[in-house]
Chains A and B, each alone.
Chain A
Amino acid sequence: MIPGAFDYDAPTTLDEAVALLAELGEEARPLAGGHSLIPMMKLRLAPLEHLVDLRRIDSLKGIRAEGGALVIGAMTTQAELLASDLITGHCPIIQETAALIADPQVRSLGTLGGNVANGDPANDMPALMQCLDAGYVLAGPGGSREVKARDFYESAFFTKRADGEILTAVRVPIPPAGHGYAYEKLKRKIGDYATAAAAVVVTLAGGSCKTAAIALTNLGETPLYAAEASAALVGTPLDKAAVERAVALAEGITAPASDGRGPADYRTKMAGVMLRRALQRALARAAG
């Protein structure tokens, strides 16, 4: 449980960090909270020669509302998400999710940027960001671009982020007032990744579902945005029949691994159970 030798830099500006990563190439990595990266280094799973610590770069921190979206700096910790009034006011599902990640110690160091950039399908924030249709702002030597969370994930630990790019912010469109939401996560104990988890945001109009978004955590090689299941809910009163149809569609896109959390068939069924429960709570919270 001792990592191999590595070099370490802690630049203070984004430009410096981008330049360093470009110069160092493949075996350099950005370091955020370190709570996914350092355990991996201790297991010596990947050769890593250089860490570029992003912690001193002020421009990567902070949360603000801007143009109908919440713009959350990549280096914002889970603890800061939990403490933010802006988030409580506009998008509380982020806090409901953050509170289910690991434990207070991990949350005080682990960042939103690290959680979504990591590319681990076991992380909770990626599916949530897909559910919220967030965009990831990436800065590279050639400038800045935005990639939608729903397009970002390719397979486990492979994303659309190029090696030299740094995720600077996550842009979350503010859901309409009165939206219903819930994040349901089944886990074995505090500090465990999800056996299965479901994120749900719905809006209602005149008693029927106007919009719906569903995404699933740790049920495949990537976080899963359940587009068909989401679409199947729109226009329905979110009654039992509609929910069961969505559950069947959502279960249908899962391809979980069998591991200590359970065999694949169990985890697929748990995706359904989590989704049912999330929909039930979201409906109870939704106005209109």
Chain B
Amino acid sequence: MSDAAMTVEEREANLKGIGCSRKRTEDARFIQGKGNYVDDLKLPGMLFGDFVRSPYGHARIKSIDASAALALPGVKAVLTAADLKPLNLHYMPTLAGDVQAVLAEDKVLFQNQEVAFVIAEDRYIAADAAELVEVDYEALPVLVDPFRSMDPDAPVLREDLAGKTEGAHGARRHHNHIFTWDVGDKEATDQAFAQAEVTIKELITYPRVHPAPMETCACVASMDKIRGELTVYGTFQAPHVVRTVASLLSTIPEHKIHVIAPDIGGGFGNKVGVYPGYVCSIVASIVLGVPVKWVEDRMENLSATAFARDYHMTAELAATRDGRITAIRAHVLADHGAFDACADPSKWPAGFFNICTGSYDVPTAYVAVDGVYTNKAPGGVAYRCSFRVTEAAYMIERAVDILAKKLAMDPVELRLKNFIQPHQFPYQSALGWEYDSGDYPTAMKKAMEATSYAALRAEQQERRAAFARGETRELMGIGVAFFTEIVGAGPTRNCDILGVGMFDSCEIRIHPTGAAIARLGTKSQGQAHETTYAQILATEIGIPADDIMIEEGNTDTAPYGLGTYGSRSTPVAGAAAARVGRKIRDKARKIAAHLLEVGEDDLEFEVDRFKVKGLPERQKNMKEIAWAAYNNVPEGLELGLEAVDYYDPPNMTYPFGAYICVVDIDADTGVTKVRRFYALDDCGTRINPMVIEGQVHGGLTEAFAIAMGQEIRYDEGGNVMGASFMDYFVPTAVETPVWETDHTVTPSPHHPIGAKGVGESPNVGGVPAFSNAVNDAFAHLDITHIQMPHDHWRTWKVCEKLGLVG
């Protein structure tokens, strides 16, 4: 159809801009198996690295003998800490201000810690050779219980920190203490508790879990010694930061380092940090002068690269008898493992845990977090959530339910009573955040109506009576969670990674025919950036999304950005995209005015063109303007049609949602069936409803996995248990419940298009919804809180304790 014959609506639809459920453009290659992942990369002469790992949780290394490995045909080198030390690379800095051993020097501090790196002609030889490296260990006492870590006689884990009484976040008071971080008004909070009519206090543990992306971590390092240039392909959620870190560590100038993140098969926080595998591959490539590939296997991924959570939260609420929350007090014991490799903005050792006042108008609060070392793998990444936001949401949402039980109030009624009201936004929280916008009561009520909440409660009453009469063996639970997230880090005034402010960027180049390429500083790992960024640009500029190619991940071509995690892509890079679009539109207006021989003010923009006000037949569409940009621009204006924007958000965004989950628990086996799960998300302006729904489905599936089964457990000897998919719970389509999704729209007032981010909401809100549902099934009985994961046997144990079995 010719352009002129199209109606405004048809032209609008043709753009596939904001609000359109455009099919994911990247899927064409993914579903045909034509993605290009790190492990697909084959460079001439490429060698393979593999690790020798510690079988011990804590041991002294007495000697390492690599001679048998080196004698194996095809083995090129074996690196140990002794080789890295002269280069000052046996330790690397972490994002949390600590250092982490690249290869263990004197001691190993967790099972599967990297001890030596074997480089061979293929991965089979490398694996054989790794077995031949003989390491002589002397076992040391193992510390796995974080509650014992600061005992006076607890084993000293970090000998490299001997005598260091100051850490990156203040004083250290014990050899296994990393930091204490506190926020809020302690005195006022203590006073509120002293005067409270009702209080609750509960240890709420969020166990150690692992993001377990489908693709494990991997890289290929390639040093060109002639040109002095290093190329690193890797599974990097934040490739630009990796390049900066690589430059600082290697002293190779940053412009001679090319970091490229190709397609990534899921990250969920696991691919934010820098791992020993990357450093060793780079060193090996520098030493050997050929490319070196390292790909971890599933067990290595689950047991050695960054875990998540492991927060032991003692939550206290103070309230009036009629259910007004008057204060929150919390203490967190944070198990960081052997090195503090948390991926948080530099100044936030406990992330944004102080979002833990949740969706409630709480007058005063105080939170303290103690980070400690144990003989476990390092990490502490945000597994599909903004920094420590899932932990915070879980704590407050469980605590509110516990309070509801104590007050004999319905959990929804208690929430409605304490919500921050719409007129209170922007809202200053007791722990220092400015919530940008929200309408919580509307969302909660919509969720109640959609699920016929009152009828569910009535049914539950009947079921409980039937259970008591012995007519059913099932217990029905209704879980409610109302979460508020804090995403889109962040204002650079308080958020940085290793000193680089957490802005993000977009650059666009519109070609003469009106097609364009745009590049951004973020990096999709499956979030459909190639689809949705193009939609923002399409609406802002007026060229079809199908004519805009999106590229990320190549640090040579993309503008600098801080990467994708913490739901920051849409809030930060998405804002940059909108602003880039507006810059283009401004220039286009000048060109259009010139072409139409009118003043800029005489023009109005309509979908994909400028029209002369009052003379609508006189118009220039963006295609015509793009062409003119290369041959006919007004005097004094540069040729070309390009723009770049580096966006420093004024505030974070605060997505929220109301989730309701209904479960039926088989009291004889502890098997929990999810009968129904309703998720209402408010992520502000919705760019692509289909993509949002996909993100919600994925996040809820992860939340289900976490709440119902995921756990990286250590036995007393420091052995990591169940670090394979046989035990680590990743649900298949068979176990996954059916998801019902819904939404309200409360745009962010400070974001250029009002979008807030959604990728992580379902994980944040889903976990408490499931956990509250399981707990609620027993709410009429003598039990206050059941720890996750709610797997079969643990739930059965609750039934047994309550005398419900057999």
Contacts and interface: CB of A to CB of B under 8 A. Distances in A.
Given A44-B131, A261-B793, A191 B732 contact: yes
B279 to A, nearest CB: 22
A50 B68 CA distance: 23
Nearest to B731: A189
A5 interface: yes
Interface stretch (B95-103, B120-128, B266-274, B686-694): B120-128
B796 A266 contact: yes
Given A1-B299, A189-B731, A270 B124 contact: no
Contacts of A270: 669
Contacts of B709: 188-189
A2 B123 contact: yes
A262 B734 contact: no
B792 A189 contact: no
Contacts of A261: 792-793
- Candidate in B124, B297, B669, B805 with the most chain A CB atoms within 10 angstroms: B669
Contacts of B298: 1
A192 interface: yes
Interface residues of A, number: 23
B124 A2 contact: yes
Contacts, number: 57
A273 interface: yes
B124 A260 contact: no
B696 to A, nearest CB: 22
Nearest to A262: B793
A176 interface: no
A58 B731 CA distance: 38
B735 A190 contact: yes
Contacts of B668: 273
A1 B130 CA distance: 12
Interface size bracket, B side: 20 to 34
Nearest to B722: A260
Contact of B297 (A1, A192, A260): A1
A195 interface: yes
B797 interface: yes
A105 B721 CA distance: 26
A252 to B, nearest CB: 15
B565 interface: no
Interface string A45-84: 0000000000000000000000000000000000000000
A263 interface: yes
B734 A5 contact: no
B29 to A, nearest CB: 24
Given A1-B299, A262-B793, A189 B669 contact: no
Contacts of B731: 189
Contacts of B735: 189-190
B729 interface: yes
A195 B734 contact: no
Contacts of B797: 266
B770 to A, nearest CB: 16
Contacts of B796: 262, 266, 269
26 contacts: A1-B298, A1-B299, A2-B123, A4-B127, A4-B131, A5-B124, A44-B131, A103-B732, A186-B669, A186-B792, A188-B709, A188-B791, A188-B792, A189-B731, A190-B732, A190-B734, A195-B792, A260-B722, A260-B727, A262-B793, A266-B670, A266-B793, A266-B796, A269-B806, A270-B669, A273-B668
Identify the 5 closest CB pairs spanning chains A and B, nearest first: A262-B793, A2-B127, A1-B297, A260-B727, A266-B793
Interface of A: 1-2, 4-5, 44, 103, 186, 188-193, 195, 259-263, 266, 269-270, 273
